[in-house]
Amino acid sequence: MKKILILISVVLLVSCKKMDHYEIAGIVRNIPDNTIISLFEISDNVGSIVATDTIINGEFRFEGTLSRRPTKMNLMIPDRLHFAGSCTFWADHEKIKITGTDKYLSTWNVSSNLPEQKVTNLFNTKTEAQMRIIDSLSLTLMADQRNRELQVSIMHKIDSISKLMQRDKFEVLKNNINSLTSLNELYQIAEFSSIDKQEIRTLFEKFDDKWKNTLLGEGILAKLDKPVPPKIGDKAVDLKLYDINGKSAKLSDFSGKYILLDFWSLACYPCILAAPELREINEVYKDFLTIVGISMDVNPELWTQATKRDSITWNNLSDGKGSYAGASSLYGISGMPTYILISPADTIVERWQGFSSGIFKEKLNKYIALK
């Protein structure tokens, strides 16, 4: 009996390992030996590097454990002067084969039997020629970064091609709904394309409730029914939030002092630079000001990681909707960090995007006179 139990335990352990294990094998041509390639795990819109390998004789390999199934992943080569684009794919316990023939990673091929990958490949096949052009333009962009006129011209070309790509993807979507890949593509179309909103809404309504009743689904509707964000001089919009331990709060709970809203995330480098000054003003202006950080990270683990990284001492809240819907939609957040200063009378008096040294005191000293 004891031997049987041991055998069952071993089988379960092997089974669990197989279910959580991923294996990626790459065979590429025309890539110099010793080229470094990086593997990223994608959580919502945040990519975290999980491994690197060196391409030797046109081969690379990654193995590891999945944090969830399936997991969206991304391959990039850090040398952005000689390589462009990225290879995005889905990973599960099944072995994945990646092949490519040139420096444009967006055109590399991914072979697996995963349902999400099969849908992804439909979009990739439809837009491969356009992605090759975009990757080529990106390399030209990197080669001469001081030529402002060239930079603007190339960005306009990339934007034009991207809009054509969105229309092609929309055509693919019409016959391929009800997958996470399709839902994400529709979200991107709702946010960035010039396709008629009613066309997008009609297609979204064809998705099963399983997909519509997700954060991505809510995000699509938020893009289609975009609220007009409050501007300077308007009343602040109240928000339902919670802290990192799950305790609920509302923005109106902090009325009576000036409130500085800080929209930030783990993937925001200027947010790292701003953290020391935020800690300083949180102490110096504490009698007149309340700082309310609103995390745009949907994944609680990433939020926790960013909180520790920035040594946050001020109010640290979220509505769990990231950049898809909720607070970011209501306040029209298009980049991070974004700061909004609200008066004790709940009126927005300042709003700006980005961080520069001394910016907080420069803004606050217009309204708060320290003794």
Main-chain phi, psi angles of 337, to 5 degrees: -80, 150
User: Counting beta carbons within 10 angstroms of the beta carbon of residue 212, is it exposed (0 to 12), middle (13 to 18) or buried (19 or more)?
Assistant: middle
Question: Distance (Å, rounded) from C-alpha 273 to C-alpha 341?
Answer: 19
pLDDT at 47: 82
pLDDT at 312: 96
pLDDT digits (tens, 9 = 90+) for 70-117: 899 999 999 999 999 999 999 988 889 999 999 999 999 999 999 999
Domains of the chain: 19-117 (2.60.40.1110), 164-224 (no CATH), 240-364 (3.40.30.10)
User: 144 by DSSP, 3-state: which?
Assistant: coil
Catalogue the long-range contacts made by 182-191 (C-beta closer than 8 Å, 24 or more residues apart): 182/119, 182/207, 183/207, 183/211, 183/214, 183/216, 183/217, 183/220, 184/216, 185/123, 186/220, 187/216, 187/219, 187/220, 187/223, 187/324, 190/219, 190/220, 190/223, 190/224, 191/223
The greatest distance separating any two alpha carbons of the chain, rounded to the nearest whole angstrom, comes to 79
Q: How far is CA 343 from CA 128, 232, 283, 368, in A?
A: 51, 11, 18, 10
Fill in the amino acid letter for 317: L
Q: Which of 277, 282, 274, 260 has the alpha carbon at shortest distance from 348?
A: 260
pLDDT at 371: 66
At 59, list the tokens: 């081969």
At 109, list the tokens: 């091929």
Torsion sign (Cα): 155, 160, 164, 170: positive
Contact at 8 Å (CB) between 217 and 211? Answer: yes
Q: How many CB atoms lie within 10 A of CB 7?
A: 10
pLDDT at 67: 78
pLDDT digits (tens, 9 = 90+) for 288-312: 999 999 999 999 999 999 999 999 9
Ranges in the chain, pLDDT < 70: 1-19, 371
Whether the model pTM is above 0.85: yes
Q: How far is CA 152 from the centre of its chain?
A: 25
Q: What is the mean pLDDT of the chain?
A: 92
pLDDT at 295: 97
